[in-house]
Amino acid sequence: MVSARVGVTIATADMSLRHEAELRRLLGEQRLVSWFQPIVDLATGDVVAHEALVRGPADSPLHLPDALFSTARRHGLLAELDAACRAAAFWGASAQKLRDPVGLFVNVEPEVLDSAPLDVLLEIAANAPGQLRVVVEFTERALAHRPAELLRTVDRIRDAGWAVALDDVGADELSLAFMPLLRPDVIKLDLRLVQDGPGPDVAQVMNAVNAYAESSGALVLAEGIEDDEHLRLARSLGAVLGQGWLFGRPRPVIDMSARTAALPLPPRRAAQASSSSVVDSQASPFSLLPPGAVLRHAPKALLIELTKQLEREALRQGSACVLASTFQLARYFTPATASRYRDLAERIAFVCALAEDMPAEPLPGVRGAALAAGDPVRSEWDVVVLAPHFSAALLARDLGDDGPDAERRFEYVLTYERSTVAAAGRALLARVVAAEPAAPGTPGTPGTPGTLAPSAGSVLAAVPAPTGADVAECLPSLLGEPSLPALPPVPSLEPGAATEALLRRALDASTSGVCVADVRRPDQPLVYVNPAFERLAGFTAGQVLGRNCRFLQGSDTDPAVIDAIRTAVSAGREWTGVVLNHRGPDRTPWWNEVHLSPVHDDDGALVHYIGVQTDVTERVIAQRELAVERDRTRAQRARLEQLGLRTPL
Assess if residue 621 is contained within a domain.
no
Most confident listed range (374-383, 560-569, 631-640):
374-383
In a domain, 466, yes or no: no
Helix (H) or strand (E) segment spanning residue 589 = strand 588-600
120-134, 500-514, 600-614: range with highest mean pLDDT: 600-614
Task: Clarify whether residues 73 and 208 are in a common domain.
Answer: yes
Q: Are 22 and 28 in contact (CB under 8 A)?
A: no
Query: What pLDDT shows up at residue 12?
Result: 58
Residue 1 located in a structural domain: no
Domain that holds residue 560: 471-615
465 within a domain of the structure (yes/no): no
Instruction: Give the CATH number of the domain where residue 524 resides.
Output: 3.30.450.20
Inside any domain, residue 275 = no
- Put the strands of the sheet holding 366-370 in their side by side order: 296-299, 409-415, 390-398, 380-387, 322-329, 350-356, 366-370
> Is the link from the previous residue into 482 a cis peptide, with omega within 30 of 0?
no
What pLDDT is stored for residue 247 in this prediction?
Answer: 96
Q: Are residues 235 and 301 in the same domain?
A: no
Contact present, 376 and 366 (Cβ < 8 Å): no
Mean pLDDT for the stretch of residues 73-99: 85
For 78, what's the count of Cα atoms within 13 Å in the CB-facing half-sphere?
15
Asked whether the predicted pLDDT for residue 285 surpasses 70, the reply is: yes
Alpha-carbon distance 456 to 446, whole Å?
15
Identify the band that residue 142 occupies on the pLDDT scale cut at 50, 70 and 90: low
Q: Are residues 520 and 609 in the same domain?
A: yes
Nearest to 242 by CA among 230, 259, 253, 258: 230
Asked if the structure places residue 640 within a domain, the reply is no
Pick the closest to residue 169 from 161, 158, 159, 177 (CA basis). Answer: 177
CATH code: domain of residue 95: 3.20.20.450
Angle among Cα 361, 365, 368 to the nearest 5 degrees reads 30
Calpha distance 76→20 (Å, rounded): 10
Q: In angstroms, rounded to a whole number, what is the distance separating the alpha carbons of residues 249 and 224?
A: 11
629, 622 contact by CB (below 8 A): no
Is residue 643 in some structural domain? Answer: no
Q: Helix 65-74 to helix 2-28 angle, to the nearest 10 degrees?
A: 100
Position 461 pLDDT exceeds 70: no
Q: Distance between CA atoms of 440 and 218, rounded to whole angstroms? A: 42
> Within this chain, do residues 265 and 293 fall inside the same structural domain, yes or no?
no
Mean pLDDT of the chain: 80
Going by pLDDT thresholds of 50, 70 and 90, the confidence category of residue 391 is very high
Higher pLDDT, 196 or 135: 135
What pLDDT was estimated at residue 249? Answer: 93
297: CATH:
3.30.870
Q: Of 435, 457, 488, at which residue does a domain stop?
A: 435
Q: What is the DSSP letter of 448?
A: -
Q: Quick one: average pLDDT of 119-132?
A: 60
* Angle at which helices 78-95 and 118-127 cross, to 10°: 10
551, 638 Cβ separation under 8 angstroms = no
364 burial level (CB within 10 Å; 0-12, 13-18, 19+): exposed
Q: Which whole number is the average pLDDT over 120-128?
A: 58
> For 232-276, how does the pLDDT look when each residue is reduced to its tens digit (9 = 90+)?
999 999 999 999 999 999 999 998 889 999 999 988 754 444 444
**One domain, residues 339 and 484:** no
| Residues 209 and 327 placed together within one structural domain of the fold | no
Q: What is the pLDDT of residue 96?
A: 86
168-177, 232-241, 440-449, 620-629 — which is least confidently predicted?
A: 440-449
104 and 196 together in one domain: yes
- From 236, 269, 302, the end of a domain falls on 269
The pLDDT, as a whole number, for residue 464 is 32
Residues 259 and 291 in one domain: no
Same domain, 252 and 321: no
Angle between helices 173-182 and 200-216 (to 10 degrees): 0
Average pLDDT over residues 376-398: 95
Residues 203-217, mean pLDDT to the nearest whole number:
90
Residues 42, 107 within the same domain: yes
| Beta-strand runs (E) in 407-555 | 409-415, 513-518, 526-529
Q: What pLDDT sits at residue 154?
A: 83
Best-predicted range by mean pLDDT among 60-74, 167-181, 358-372?
358-372
How do beta strands 186-189 and 163-169 pair?
parallel
What band does 114 get if pLDDT is binned at 50, 70 and 90?
Answer: low
Q: Is the pLDDT of residue 155 over 80?
A: yes
Report the DSSP beta bridge partners of residue 222.
189, 242
Residue 323 has pLDDT above 80, yes or no: yes
**What does each C-alpha distance from 271 to 158, 210, 279, 418, 537 come to in angstroms?**
11, 20, 12, 12, 58
- The whole-angstrom separation of Cα 57 and Cα 32 is 7
Highest average pLDDT, of 20-34, 73-87, 460-474, comes from 20-34
Domain stops at, among 220, 236, 269: 269
Rounded Cα distance, 380 and 412, in Å: 9
Q: Are residues 252 and 161 in the same domain?
A: yes
Task: Indicate if 316 and 412 belong to the same structural domain.
Answer: yes
- 561 CB contacts (<8 Å, ≥6 apart)? 577, 578, 579, 580
**490: Cα within 13 Å, side-chain hemisphere:** 25
pTM of structure: 0.64
pLDDT of 579-637, one tens digit each?
999 998 878 889 999 999 999 888 888 999 999 999 988 888 888 778 777 777 777 77
The count of domains in the chain is: 3
- Look at residue 649 and tell me if it is in a domain: no
